[in-house]
């Protein structure tokens, strides 16, 4: 159970970085579209690198050891990736939420205020991130670099969420609180993943793939379209690359 506890603590700390980023809302009146797209794209780059270097590659190595056959191991990880993407896709279809750029998605619930739709949208992002940190500590693994990377990408995300809430009429204090609370769900994701691995350690390759697939779906389906839809696609692309190489560096030097 020590691995599950380590994953829970690390995912909570990574989620707390959302509040750290949200603190800046007290100093910044609002984010320009360029700054917002750059911040979110940088976060996407970190998530992209984490998906490959911290989740998919270790999952393949672990699955190969379990099965004794590389092709079988890769097939298990592929199944996990596709399952993770399908789970997030299903959540998008059945959980009401609202994106800052694209507007509402999922079933319509007129009684839900916009603030709760925003909260649900960020929750859809943060749950897979918490799971990723949790499985990073599975089977005695060292997920510290993954937790740091997810924490770093939560900082600009926290600021972007808080600033967006301010622009739709919420006070800075309330925007900070809501943005901070969205990070708490990462602890839930980390706990769920950690307990699942504690109960069935052979599920590690599948769970690593699942977390990666969920994050890849979010990057492709949400973050890239939103950050490329306001004429800042060049800036967004290079910001994503900066985030990618930063996470790649962390993984290389801390593994």
Please check whether residue 175 is in contact with residue 27, taking contact to mean a CB–CB distance below 8 angstroms.
no
Overall average pLDDT of the 139-152 stretch: 78
Q: Count up the domains in the chain and report the number.
A: 1
**Using alpha carbons only, how large is the chain's radius of gyration in Å?**
17
Q: Output the pLDDT for position 63.
A: 92
Q: How far is CA 87 from CA 129, 189, 206, 237, in A?
A: 14, 14, 14, 27
Distance CA 147, CA 156 (A): 15
pTM: 0.80
- How far, in Å, CA of 250 to CA of 46, rounded? 10
Cβ–Cβ < 8 Å for 243, 41? yes
Mean pLDDT of 68-93: 90
The residue segments making up the domain with residue 158 are 2-27+35-254
Q: Can you state the angle between helices 204-218 and 70-94, rounded to 10 degrees?
A: 50
pLDDT band with cut points at 50, 70 and 90 for residue 72: very high
| Coil, helix or strand at residue 76 | helix
Give the separation between CA 16 and CA 180, rounded to whole angstroms: 7
pLDDT in tens, 182-236: 888 888 888 877 777 776 667 888 888 988 998 899 899 888 988 888 888 899 9
In whole angstroms, give the CA distance from residue 158 to residue 162: 6
């Amino acid at each position: 159970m020590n691995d599950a506890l380590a994953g829970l603590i690390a995912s909570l700390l990574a989620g707390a970085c959302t509040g750290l980023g949200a603190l800046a809302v007290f100093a910044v009146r609002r984010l320009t579209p360029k700054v917002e797209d750059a911040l979110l794209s940088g976060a996407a780059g970190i998530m992209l690198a984490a998906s490959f270097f911290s989740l998919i590659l270790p999952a393949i190595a672990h699955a190969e050891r379990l099965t004794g056959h590389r092709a079988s191991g890769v097939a298990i990880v592929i199944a996990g990736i596709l399952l993770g993407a399908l789970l997030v896709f299903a959540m998008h279809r059945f959980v009401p939420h609202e994106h800052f750029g694209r507007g509402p998605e999922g079933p319509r619930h007129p009684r839900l205020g916009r603030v709760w739709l925003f909260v649900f949208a960020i929750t859809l992002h943060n749950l897979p991130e918490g799971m990723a940190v949790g499985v990073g500590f599975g089977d005695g693994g060292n997920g510290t670099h993954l937790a740091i990377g997810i924490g770093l990408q939560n900082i600009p995300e926290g600021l972007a969420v808080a600033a967006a809430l301010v622009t739709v009429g919420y006070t800075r204090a309330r925007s900070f609180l809501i943005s901070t609370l969205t990070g708490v769900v990462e602890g839930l994701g980390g706990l769920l993943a950690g307990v699942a691995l504690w109960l069935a350690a052979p599920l590690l390759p599948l769970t690593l793939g699942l977390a990666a697939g969920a994050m890849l779906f979010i990057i492709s389906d949400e973050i890239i379209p939103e950050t490329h839809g306001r004429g800042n696609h060049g800036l967004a692309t290079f910001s994503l690359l900066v985030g990618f190489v930063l996470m790649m560096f962390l993984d290389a030097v801390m593994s």
